[in-house]
């Protein structure tokens, strides 16, 4: 009689993701870092790709995705006069704001190590943010027909991603203790008649980017079913310098 246990069951290896916490930087530095980390390593075999989760805050900047929806040079100049930078990017979505008090998280992942589906990826990002909110005491965060994570009709987290050859870039902008007045100058993500909010506003206490980052990393590991390793600050700083040098030579 043949044994059903003749061949041992294969255990799936959990992907490893390196956490880079780079602090408060300019948006162009964040772009350079994600470009360096995704372009400066092999795409195949996919198992050799090193995954990262980059955590950062940006100095004030307005960014536009691939669907510009009539934002003209005149609009750009108007926003620049406010003292913020302005960038057109290859991420999904329309216009949004990044600035101090907002956690910007860029998962740079090879989806073949996780699930080779952008639909799955975006849905998992949404779940990660919702679970992070709940762990921090905010139970009303949810998805709607509009992109992002919402508390009733107020957006608390913007999502704008890009995927190419199974590699993800860009990510989320999670309002922790952001000065929400910046959003008054735009229609966030092109969605009329809706507002914005933050963890601090909803929880009625000061919620820092650092506190949110700690919880988000824990939730990220659980939801994406991966192991994480924190990179020392000096390594993150060195990678940032290398990326700026790399992008200046490879515009």
Residue 187, pLDDT score: 75
Give residues with Cβ within 8 angstroms of 43, minimum separation 6. Answer: 49, 110, 165, 166, 167
Residue 6, pLDDT score: 60
As a whole number of angstroms, the distance between CA 94 and CA 71 comes to 9
Which residue ranges make up the annotated binding site? 91-98, 158-160, 171-173
Residue 140, pLDDT score: 96
Active site residue 189: yes
Give residues with Cβ within 8 angstroms of 188, minimum separation 6. Answer: 95, 96, 97, 155, 158, 194, 196
Give SS3 for 62: strand
Residue 9, pLDDT score: 58
Boundaries of every domain in the chain:
16-39+47-249
Which residue ranges make up the annotated binding site for substrate? 91-98, 158-160, 171-173
Residue 148, pLDDT score: 94
**Fold observed for domain 16-39+47-249:** BirA Bifunctional Protein; domain 2 (3.30.930)
pLDDT digits (tens, 9 = 90+) for 120-156: 999 999 999 999 999 999 999 999 999 899 999 999 9
As a whole number of angstroms, the distance between CA 207 and CA 19 comes to 21
- What are the residue ranges in the chain where pLDDT is below 50? 1, 3
Supply the angle between the helices 118-135 and 209-223 in degrees, to the nearest 10. 130
């Amino acid at each position: 009689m043949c044994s059903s246990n003749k061949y041992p069951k294969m255990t799936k290896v959990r992907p490893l993701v390196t956490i880079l916490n780079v602090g408060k930087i300019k948006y162009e530095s964040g772009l350079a870092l994600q470009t360096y980390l995704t372009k400066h390593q092999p795409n195949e075999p996919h198992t050799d790709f090193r995954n990262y989760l980059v955590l950062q805050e940006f100095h004030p900047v307005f960014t536009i995705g691939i669907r510009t929806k009539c934002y003209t040079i005149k609009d750009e100049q108007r926003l620049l006069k406010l003292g913020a930078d302005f960038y057109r990017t290859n991420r999904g979505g329309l216009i949004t704001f990044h600035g101090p008090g907002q956690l910007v998280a860029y998962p740079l992942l090879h989806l073949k190590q996780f699930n080779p589906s952008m639909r799955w990826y975006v849905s998992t990002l949404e779940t990660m943010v919702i679970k992070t909110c709940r762990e921090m005491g905010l139970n009303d965060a949810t998805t709607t027909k509009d992109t992002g994570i919402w508390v009733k009709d107020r957006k608390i987290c913007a999502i704008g991603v890009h995927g190419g050859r199974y590699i993800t870039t860009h990510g989320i902008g999670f309002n922790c203790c952001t000065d929400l007045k910046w959003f008054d100058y735009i229609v966030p993500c092109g969605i009329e008649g809706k507002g914005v909010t933050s963890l601090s506003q909803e929880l009625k206490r000061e919620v820092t980017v650092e506190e949110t980052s700690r919880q988000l990393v824990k939730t990220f590991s659980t939801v994406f079913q991966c192991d994480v390793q924190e990179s020392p600050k000096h390594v993150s700083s060195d990678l940032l310098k290398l990326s700026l040098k790399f992008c200046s030579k490879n515009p």
